[in-house]
Structure 1
Amino acid sequence: MSWQRDALVTIEKLRAKLQQVEYEQKEPIAVVGMGCRYPRGVSDPGTFWRLIDEGIDAVTEVPSERWDVDALYDPDPNALGKMTTRSGGFLTGIDRFDSGFFGISPREAVSMDPQQRLLLETSWETLEHAGIAAERLVGSSTGVFVGLSYQEYGTLAGGLERLDGYVGTGTTASVASGRISYVLGLQGPSMTVDTACSSSLVTVHLACQSLRQGECSLAMAGGVTLMLTPGPFVEFSRLRGLAADGRCKPFSANADGTTWSEGCGMVVLERLSDARRNGHSVLAVIRGSAVNQDGRSNGLSAPNGPSQEAVIRSALAQAGVKPSAVGYVECHGTGTVLGDPIEVQALGSVLSEGREADRPVIIGSVKSNLGHTQAAAGVASLIKVVLSLQHGRIPKNLHFEAPNPHIAWDELPVKVASEA
């Protein structure tokens, strides 16, 4: 009967629509462009690859133009107002900015947090790397997702008489992403995220979700960190969390803490089907991502192993990837006494499922090169992995002389990339 045929057609249409919705929710996201500024002269993906491929240590003594390290250094972690290391990772030229290029007056530029300036420059370079002309994005639904934690520039502004009408917008976190959207004329979602060390990876996760849900057609995601005062070093010295020699030594027996560094990284993301249709170069594919929280652990800043296992399982499930298929993991890997063993244990517990004993997961951390770039750390790891895929080579993990005895290496299917 005709009504039965009509009903069957309707059911088939609904089934097809549901399948399409399910596909869109899981559609892979393409990385089509990357831009970055990191210590030791890293100014683009090419110089970034050269640094990690040649095993260069980007950490140096605190530059004299930042602050007087001789006056601030004290190896005693109980010394008030002092820092227990003389080293970190620092960008040069953060006082330089071509304001006219972005249509910003010199007066306004002076009141802008250098982090906002760096984000503008890096975002523009990221679009160039993707082969996308910025003027073609005006009025588009392109989204901007930025990770940012420090807001120190406002503390340097001086008294109330220093407020000139630009300090507010120049130092407000929300404007860090909003200014990119404004300057480029983008009308998609625009937000600044602060989840501490995970900030720039959370922005990538949010951007992928936004793309799959159709909120934006293109997305830029990443993060930035500049340290304009010695406060982060002094504060973490009290917690006994800084490496004395200023080097992150992930997974190593002589790991004694992290070191703070600066940087900025951005990626351009697009639905894989759109990237292919638009003729954009697909540098890598993000199949899945997940976010959770540690909940209650043995301290506010202490990691939680079961929560780490849960988020890994969730990301694998979202991606439709079996644990045994993972060949490499770019780790958080801060080189802290507590964090590394918990992270490796969580990875080993999840990725051992169905894995052959003779095929361990290779692990590494770009923090062994750069130090911990904080809100820009996650995107640095992502860019490293994309570059490794492009070059077919996993760079050597630095400062790994002897394995951390608190990690059950014999029981876990993991191996540090002690050589390229």
Structure 2
Amino acid sequence: PQEFLLLTHTWKAMEDAGITGQTLSDRPTGVFIAAGNSDNTNAAMIPSLIPNRISYALNLRGPSEYYEAACSSVLVALHRAIQSIRNDECEQAIVGAVNLLLSPKGFIGFDSMGYLSEDGKAKSFQAEAKGFVRSEGAGVLLIKPLRKAIEDSDHIYTVIKGTGVSHGGRGMSLHAPNPNGMKDAMLKAYQGSKVDPKTVTYIEAHGIASPLADAIEINALKSGYKQLETEHIQEIQEETPCYISSLKPCIGHGELVSGMAALMKVSMAMQHATIPGIPGFTSPNDQVSTDGSRFLLTEENHKWEERKDHAGRLIPRRASINSYGFGGVNAHVVLEEYIPSHRESPADETVNEPQIVVLSAKNQDRLQAVVQQMLGYVKQQNELSLKNYAYTLQVGREAMNDRLALVISSRDELIAGLQDCLTMKEERKPQSAIPVFTGNSKEGFSDIGTLLEGTLGEVVMQTLLAENNLEKIAFCWTK
């Protein structure tokens, strides 16, 4: 199941990025997976096969490795992926994680140690905190150097400015968080990042919901950031608040996948310019104190205000993620909002310029599902660049056998055409007012394949392109 889920989410990440398997295969691509043997089930499972199956399925030739460092596994995998890119072992990387709860053994073990919340609620940093809640999840992201992502016109969610990993050595116990290790990981994450710690205004903390562990984490953050602020060149002079949040009260503790959830949460927070609060937060537990720091704990979300440096230049929104693992591995990541130099808007496009929208799938049932998904997506997009949308579907998707193509000139036409495709299938409606073409490339090729083979086919296609005959091009593609 771990392999199945990660293959699925790798494909989703590729489609979200508009990158096909062939494109990934053409460049050295690494695979770095946070995974393990979920609860030691009876089913035989070799963890190294999880990243290796992705590399095999997509024909990738970079490093293919898995990491298991308990709760900090994802940030360790991310750290190693970045190192691998910097060492020219690969040009880009798939970083993924999966955590499944397939057996009661883990619950029994954690409960016997008194780690699980009795009421099934995680109350990070709060007075009522009594333990964590286990949860499942899977997620994948693609990373590459910023310069390359800009060259490739990729959608950039966030910029990773620095990562740090450190074990705390001998501490209170093997299972207790070690503040020295946490602080060391923080310091390493900022080395060479050129980020003023005072410009970081949001920290996504681990927040395991244990009174002692939460207090240790807050104290480590206070100590680490106090030292960092004295060592780094300061971009701003005024004291700005830094909010601490945790995802645990929302979705529980994803264990091996928790770092991936944190990365996605911070990325979405930047996208929406909102610093998330801690759901249900009332008051800190007696051992947690933010006195003497600029840290704040609150239930409310806050607008993520823009900051300017002493010269009046805009500073990108910045955040960090803190994580520590059962066993002593600590990790810290510094993230920055990506601000493009030029942002194209749909208003820039030529009005009513026709586009070919192409969709394909392995069979008719899946094609209908793709149409349904696309209809839901388009309805949510008040501003949609038809040119970019059509381009991504043409070059950023694997072309499968069952195919559908529409020729549209507006978002309204696109919605109407997709709705017609669904009703035509369900109600056997004869046709649509929007030009819609369907076919199967294997079955249809015999009809016009002979005509379109070789030089004649090239001449026909070049002629259709020169004439901008989109409907005939769409018809030929579906066949």
Shorter-chain TM range is 0.5 to 0.7
Runs of 4+ in 1 over 6 A off after TM superposition: none
Q: Quick one: which of 210, 228, 250 aligns to 2:84?
A: 210
1:389 partner amino acid: M
Question: Matches of 1:356 and 1:342 in 2, distance apart?
Answer: 28
Q: Quick one: which of 40, 44, 54 aligns to 1:180?
A: 54
Contact kept in structure 1, 2:198 and 2:239, CA below 8 Å: no
Question: Matches of 1:258 and 1:300 in 2, distance apart?
Answer: 18
Residue in 2 that maps onto 1:269:
143
Deviations 1:344-381 (A, max 9, x none): 11111222335978522111011111111011000110
Q: 1:318 and 1:379, CA in 2 relative to 1: closer, same or farther beyond 3 A?
A: farther
Question: Matches of 2:110 and 2:280 in 1, distance apart?
Answer: 21
Q: Quick one: which of 233, 253, 258 aligns to 2:132?
A: 258
Contact kept in structure 2, 1:323 and 1:350, CA below 8 Å: no
2:100 partner amino acid: L
**Once the 2 structures are TM-superposed, how far is the Cα of residue 219 of structure 1 from its aligned partner?**
0.5
Question: Matches of 2:68 and 2:154 in 1, distance apart?
Answer: 30
Q: Quick one: which of 153, 163, 171 aligns to 1:297?
A: 171
> What secondary structure is seen at the aligned counterpart in 2 of 1:327?
strand
Q: Quick one: which of 254, 263, 267 aligns to 1:382?
A: 263
Residue in 1 that maps onto 2:16:
129
Structure of larger gyration radius: 2
Residue in 1 that maps onto 2:244:
363
Question: Matches of 1:335 and 1:222 in 2, distance apart?
Answer: 25
> What secondary structure is seen at the aligned counterpart in 2 of 1:191?
strand
Question: Matches of 1:417 and 1:396 in 2, distance apart?
Answer: 6
> What secondary structure is seen at the aligned counterpart in 1 of 2:288?
coil
Contact kept in structure 2, 1:221 and 1:268, CA below 8 Å: yes
> What secondary structure is seen at the aligned counterpart in 2 of 1:338?
helix
Q: 1:399 and 1:195, CA in 2 relative to 1: closer, same or farther beyond 3 A?
A: same
- Identity among equivalent positions (%) equals 37
Q: Quick one: which of 51, 73, 78 aligns to 1:199?
A: 73
2:254 partner amino acid: T
Contact kept in structure 2, 1:327 and 1:361, CA below 8 Å: yes
Question: Matches of 1:249 and 1:133 in 2, distance apart?
Answer: 42
Larger mean Cα displacement after TM superposition, 346-355 or 397-406: 346-355
Residue in 2 that maps onto 1:229:
103
Question: Matches of 1:279 and 1:126 in 2, distance apart?
Answer: 16
Q: How does 1:14-413 map to 2 (within 5 A)?
A: 114-152=1-39, 155-157=41-43, 171-352=45-226, 353=229, 358-413=239-294
Question: Matches of 1:310 and 1:173 in 2, distance apart?
Answer: 29
Residue in 1 that maps onto 2:420:
none
Deviations 1:283-315 (A, max 9, x none): 110011011002111111101112211211111
Q: 1:356 and 1:419, CA in 2 relative to 1: closer, same or farther beyond 3 A?
A: farther
Gaps of 5+ in 2: 231-235, 302-479
1:390 partner amino acid: Q
> What secondary structure is seen at the aligned counterpart in 2 of 1:259?
coil
1:143 partner amino acid: G
Question: Matches of 2:281 and 2:196 in 1, distance apart?
Answer: 29
Deviations 1:105-139 (A, max 9, x none): xxxxxxxxx11110110111011111111232225
> What secondary structure is seen at the aligned counterpart in 2 of 1:253?
coil
Contact kept in structure 2, 1:141 and 1:186, CA below 8 Å: yes
Gaps of 5+ in 1: 1-113, 158-166
Higher strand share: 2
2:25 partner amino acid: V
Question: Matches of 1:385 and 1:402 in 2, distance apart?
Answer: 23
2:201 partner amino acid: G
Normalised to the residue count of structure 2, the TM-score between the two structures is 0.59
Contact kept in structure 2, 1:349 and 1:412, CA below 8 Å: no
Question: Matches of 1:240 and 1:357 in 2, distance apart?
Answer: 43
Question: Matches of 1:384 and 1:265 in 2, distance apart?
Answer: 12
Q: 1:236 and 1:262, CA in 2 relative to 1: closer, same or farther beyond 3 A?
A: same
Question: Matches of 2:192 and 2:266 in 1, distance apart?
Answer: 20
**Once the 2 structures are TM-superposed, how far is the Cα of residue 201 of structure 1 from its aligned partner?**
1.0
**Once the 2 structures are TM-superposed, how far is the Cα of residue 186 of structure 1 from its aligned partner?**
0.6
Question: Matches of 1:247 and 1:222 in 2, distance apart?
Answer: 27
CA RMSD of aligned residues (A): 1.6
Q: How many residues matched?
A: 294
Question: Matches of 1:140 and 1:374 in 2, distance apart?
Answer: 32
1:399 partner amino acid: G
Contact kept in structure 2, 1:139 and 1:185, CA below 8 Å: no
Question: Matches of 1:357 and 1:238 in 2, distance apart?
Answer: 48
1:290 partner amino acid: G
Normalised to the residue count of structure 1, the TM-score between the two structures is 0.67
Residue in 1 that maps onto 2:467:
none
